[in-house]
Structure 1
Amino acid sequence: MTIEMPRMRQQFAAQAVIEELLRQQSRTPPRTGFGRFFGYSPLGADSLSWYQGAQGEIVVGAILDGMPPEWMVFHAVPIGTKGADIDHLIIGPGGVFTINTKHHRDKAVWVAGRTLMVSGQKQPHIRNSEFEAKRVTKMLAERMPQLAPAQPVLALVSPKSLSIKKPSETVKVLTAGSLRRWLLARPAVMSAAEALELAAIFDDPATWPPATLPPTENAQERFDALTREVRSARVRRTLWKLLGVVAVAALLVLVGPQLIAALMTYLSSPRG
């Protein structure tokens, strides 16, 4: 019996990251009743970065899924032999774009040519984005050589700031909020027929390297359940902090006048 492989269009945003997150999380001990009561995060130390990365890819995935129908998007496209993937791959009138998503909430991002810094720390985001586009361009040269090379894009989610001293010559660096407008402003370089032909190639699992690990069952549902736990824990922590503030304020109201009176008595008493 032949088993039909899932089409690439069936991949959902952040799928590869979510599956790795769930593998990491499976090694995290469950919270105790005490931890649940006081809102300790259910995420393990090794899971947090994967969870944040998934949140960023979901944001960008939603933006791309809302593009006009002449644009076709693929998520979590496998490349290489070590489980690496392209976060998002989109085809449209403006060409082919590989989109590398990075979630740097409240971080300052600085770009000068091939150098990218996040809160003063150098990161390989531009180099990695170039690599992804080169892999797709190589495939294009073999299948549809008349098409222009794939263009790499680095989409930053929720940075505190983005300062571009000198634009990268190879990678478009922008915030996720600017991504849709930028894509729609690209000049047309691909016909509708070419886009459909290329989408069929991208949709075929045989076009891409096979997965290095078996798929995680019910990944979306398990991730949604984990997200609800994370949010519930955050609410509990916030409530406990508010209760702490109220308790301190009440204590000051009750005891404060007595402390002030005692201090005034002490200061006014003669000391020899």
Structure 2
Amino acid sequence: MERRRRDEVLITAIELAALLAAGEPVTILDVRWQLAEPDGRQAYERGHIPGAVYVSLEDELSDHSITGHGRHPLPAGRAVEAVARRWGVRAGRPVVVYDDWNRAGSARAWWVLTAAGIPDVRVLDGGLAAWTGGIESGAVVPEPGDVTVAHSDLYSGALPTLTAEEAIAVETLLDARAPERFRGDVEPIDPVAGHIPGARNVPSTGLLADDGTFLTEVELADVLGGAANVGAYCGSGVTASVLVVALATLGVDAALYPGSWSEWSSDSARPVATGD
């Protein structure tokens, strides 16, 4: 796979504004999602980047009818194709995804669309807070798109994934959760506290500067290390996508463990580590 560059993964607010000012066709997707507020539609309708279409991480970037794959199972590729067309995604037109909370929602959208085989998807660096242009309220209903996905199964799509067995065996496994959850001090969501043995804690928020933009390439390389065979997980595969995006800006195709800790901890036979 050809090595990605940072500007192929991220787009700045200035660059997006320039595209819109020039009348360039671009599909903008608003992926508001937070652990405490998973439905971001009301926030979206109160104000969003002009032309942006709301995307539900819970309902459109996950398939909760699937069991055994954690709290946010990946959707099928054909389901992604159907919702992407509803969002107005068209062949040959770039897609920009953004959120308003630690790049979690936009990173998940980037991962799902890219894994499905949709090209030219970029994350708005800094999220909504970086946008200094106009804001519009209400909902946007676009003309239907015509995009076609290349992969019907995202677990074996255009981006690498890990099973539970592969996750514990990968050379470098990064855990994107907060340190207290990694150590097992607390576990507010899943039934077991701790982490996968051998994993290293790299909180996803630690990859962002104070303004919410991703750290520089040099800084990211320092935090993430130089291993090529890298896997990432979190609680349910959402914030781990932030690590995958960050590594992609360095040209590293990290593998996502989609089920993450919610899948791992559901099997009492799997080992659990605690502490640092």
Q: Same fold (TM over 0.5)?
A: no
Normalising by structure 2, report the TM-score: 0.25
More helix by share: 1
More strand by share: 1
Higher-Rg member (1/2): 1
